[in-house]
Amino acid sequence: MSTLKPRLHIDNISPHVRSAQYAVRGELATLSEEYRARLAKGDTDLPFDQVISANIGNPQQLDQKPLTFIRQVLSLVENPKLLDHEDVLLNQLDYKTDVIERAKWLLSKVGSVGAYSASAGVPAIKESIAKFIERRDGFPADPSKIYLSGGASSGVNTLLHVICAGPDTGVLVPIPQYPLYTASLSILNARCVPYNLDEESGWSTDLEIIRASHDKAVAEGTDVRALVIINPGNPTGASLPEDNIRAILAFAAEKNLVVLADEVYQTNVFEGRFHSFKRVLRLLQQENPNKYDHVELASLHSVSKGMIGECGHRGGYFELVGFHPEVEANIYKFVSITLCAPVVGQCVVELMVNPPQPGDPSYEQYNAEYSAIFQGLKERADALHAAFSRMEGVECGPPQGSMYLFPTIRLPPRAAEAAAAEGRSPDEYYCIRLLKATGICVVPGSGFGQKKDTLHFRTTFLAPGTDWVGRIVDFHKKFMDEHR
């Protein structure tokens, strides 16, 4: 037997990877998976018979059904031989003619989905995306500025790699935030420059707070280069009004900051409407000749969220505006180093941006399925919100968008003591106790960052039914009584 110790151990691997934190798949998620495995083996010692993964926006793990149109087209692009049996598809399997047409069209553009595509994505899919952006924003979009990615995560990874030049590089990140940003900056050994969102105004952005964070970081020697906005927000659910976006873009123009607009929840909007950064930037450019011409904007979208919910397919894209051609060439080089985004994922992007239209054979079913998912999410968000408003010490604004609620929790002092005795923060302690008592996995607010002296947790409202909501209410009451 070899006496050599493993070459790699915890003290000699990359310290940047080691220090990165990603709470949505952290300790609680691991424990919840252990419980799930125990239940699957027939363990009856747990005080619950089901694990609810409310920790992650993973719609189809939580029973959201895939849209039939998307899966039918994918079945054909994956297995083109089925197209030799159109009569069976149409007359026995309820495929519609537009499904067959779309699959043939995609295959004519992609070739085989088993082949690498062009580095930045299949050209015809980029054209479809550009048309979608034009319809959405009312301003032209250039397909050559669109890059397909393996989910928005990989787009963020690309952009941050190119932006971050060294340990002095700083990126403004909202707090609370989706931890992809802090984790990626940590891995890149760059600086996260946090700015707090304003809970009192429904988690909107407060420019004075952003400015103060920016100026403080600059005074400390940070080369602040970019500003991340998540709209609609994760974990906050906030859907930003146009005025907020205008103010952010004005600030970016003034301070010469690259804007990274994470818009993966653009169809998960319950209040008001979604305003894209691209549209607002074009409006500002129209209204103020020259003032906004230099703004660099990268906006990201994904098939993972919304009513599509195809996150396992890893499809997404980002669109660039205003980047220097040499920088773009390096972004192109970076994406080409990983060859290309998954080609089936690219097809899902095409289907997302170019869905069946009224009059198309698949439209009725598509629309019915899409609307039912939207309605279901809204109803569950409202039920959860109503439950939170009945819970002592819990405060939560009405659901505005995305897939999450992020309530404030005020816990009795003994909870903080019990948490400290376990070496945990009070919100972490609360969430672990919730998981152990109910099988419901949520994420402590500290996983996203929260203002000093405040506690929160984040839950998705994706899980079907409302029974589990009642379990949170019961647990909370017992927890509060126990720690008074």
Where residue 380 falls (left for φ over 0; alpha for ψ -120 to 50; beta otherwise) is alpha
| CA dist., res. 286 & res. 249, Å (int) | 14
Q: Which of 240, 311, 331, 384 binds ligand PLP (CB under 6 A)?
A: 311
One of 239, 304, 450, 459 touching ligand PLP (CB under 6 A): 304
Dist. CA 440–CA 452, nearest whole Å: 26
For the chain, what's the residue count? Answer: 484
The verdict on 472 binding ligand PLP (CB under 6 A) reads: no
Asked if residues 90 and 60 have their Cβ atoms less than 8 Å apart, the reply is: no
**Among residues 264, 352, 409, 411, which is the contact residue for ligand PLP, using CB under 6 A?**
264
Q: How far is CA 317 from the centre of its chain?
A: 13
Q: Is 180 in the site for ligand PLP (CB under 6 A)?
A: yes
- Told to check if 178 binds ligand PLP by CB under 6 A, we report yes
Q: Which helix (H) or strand (E) holds 195?
A: strand 191-196
Per the omega criterion (within 30 degrees of 0), is the bond before 176 cis? yes
Q: Does 296 bind ligand PLP (CB under 6 A)?
A: no
Is 264 or 320 the residue whose CB approaches ligand PLP more closely? 264
Q: Is residue 124 exposed (0-12), middle (13-18) or buried (19+ Cβ within 10 Å)?
A: middle
CB atoms within 10 A of CB 164: 22
Among 153, 186, 244, 346, binds ligand PLP (CB under 6 A): 153
Minimum Å distance from CB 228 to ligand PLP?
9
347 binds ligand PLP (CB under 6 A): no
CB closest to ligand PLP, residue no = 151
Q: Which stretch binds ligand PLP (CB under 6 A): 46-54, 119-127, 148-156, 329-337?
A: 148-156
CB of 403 to ligand PLP, least distance (A): 8
> What is the C-alpha separation between 306 and 122, in angstroms, rounded?
23
Quick one: which of 122, 143, 157, 136 has its CA closest to 348?
A: 122
Examine residue 309 and tell whether it contacts ligand PLP (CB under 6 A).
no
Q: Using the structure block, give the residue that is written with the tokens 């773009």.
A: 328
**Is residue 230 part of the contact set for ligand PLP (CB under 6 A)?**
yes
What six digits make up the tokens of 155? 């787009």
How many residues touch ligand PLP (CB under 6 A)? 14
CB of 175 to ligand PLP, least distance (A): 14
Q: Considering the complex, what minimum distance in angstroms separates the CB of residue 438 from ligand PLP? A: 23
CB-wise, 89 or 331, nearer to ligand PLP?
A: 331
From the list 63, 19, 67, 99, the residue with the least C-alpha distance to 369 is 67
CB of 342 to ligand PLP, least distance (A): 12
Amino acid at the residue 347: C
Element (H, E) at 322: none
Cβ proximity to ligand PLP: between 57 and 356 the closer is 57
Give dist(CA 253, CA 221) in Å, integer: 20
Q: Scan for tokens 């949505």, then name that residue.
A: 24
Site stretch for ligand PLP (CB under 6 A), options 86-94, 151-159, 160-168, 388-396: 151-159
Among 186, 239, 276, 302, interactor with ligand PLP by CB under 6 A: 302
From the list 66, 143, 151, 439, which residue makes contact with ligand PLP (rule: CB under 6 A)?
151
Answer for which of 98, 199, 262, 296 binds ligand PLP (CB under 6 A) is 262
Is the Cβ of residue 178 or residue 475 nearer to ligand PLP in the bound state?
A: 178
Residue with tokens 């947790």: 457
State both tokens at 244. Answer: 């907020």
Please report how close the Cβ of residue 304 comes to ligand PLP at its closest, in angstroms.
3
> Considering only CA atoms, which of 309, 312, 373 is closest in space to residue 345?
312
Q: Which of residues 39-58 bind ligand PLP (CB under 6 A)?
A: 57
Residues binding ligand PLP (CB under 6 A): 57, 151-153, 178, 180, 230, 234, 262, 264, 302, 304, 311, 316
